[in-house]
Homo-oligomer: A and B are copies of this chain.
Amino acid sequence: MWRVLAARGFGGLTLRAVAAELGATTGLVTHYFPSKRALVRHALEVLDRRSAGRPRPAEEQAGTVSGLVRLRAVLLDLLPLDGPARAGNRIWVGSWDVALADPELAAEHAARYRRTRERLAGYAAEAQRRGELPAGPDAGEVAAAAQSFALGLVVQALLAPEEFPAERQIALVDACLARLAAG
């Protein structure tokens, strides 16, 4: 399934394509996944568990570091800075087409992004308490802005990898955080 998704995206994810990749019959795949939708939901759930199971960035876990350092660590962790992160992001971005055609999947996606936003908002609030970010703006809105920025950068970097190498992505995140800090 990952090989089919990496090569052809959700548009090319069919029971037949997965069966061919497995060297199995379509009937065997249908035994486990009665429909394409079941296959898509399974793909997203597995991806979700993988993300949840992946160790969080060291800077996010460390108890002593600042809110701003944690915020930065989460943002960098979202970006396609290396091969595996590119592959995972490619699947997430591809899943938006399917999700926007399916209210239940869209709601699940919205909940995922809300959780990340709440994590970012917690760190933004911590940074505000420590005086690393100006106290004025609502931490939830700072988090929404930072998440929007990172998601859009993911899209740009996937579509134009030569224009957005890892160093430029990191520099853009640092410039974004510097502006947040300057208020």
Chain A interface mostly: helix
Q: Is the beta-carbon distance between B147 and A98 smaller than 8 angstroms?
A: no
Chain A 1-17 per-residue mask, 1 if CB under 8 angstroms from chain B, else 0: 00000011111100000
Q: How far is B152's CA from A153's CA once the two chains are assembled, in angstroms? A: 8
Tell me if A94 counts as interface (CB < 8 A to partner B).
Answer: yes
Contact of A159 with B by CB under 8 A? yes
**A166 an interface residue at 8 Å Cβ cutoff?**
no
Q: Contacts A11-B10, A148-B172; is A96 near B159 (CB within 8 Å)?
A: yes
Known: A152-B152, A153-B148, A156-B148. A100 touches B94 (CB 8 A): yes
Do residues A110 and B9 form an inter-chain contact, with CB atoms below 8 A?
no
Interface residues of A in 70-103 (CB under 8 A from B): 90, 93-101
Max count, chain B CB within 10 A of own CB: residue among A151, A179, A183? A179
Whether the pair A176, B10 counts as a contact (CB closer than 8 A) is no
One digit per residue, 1 when the CB lies within 8 angstroms of any chain B CB and 0 when it does not, for chain A 158-182 equals 1110010000100110011001101
Q: Does A137 contact B (CB under 8 A)?
A: yes
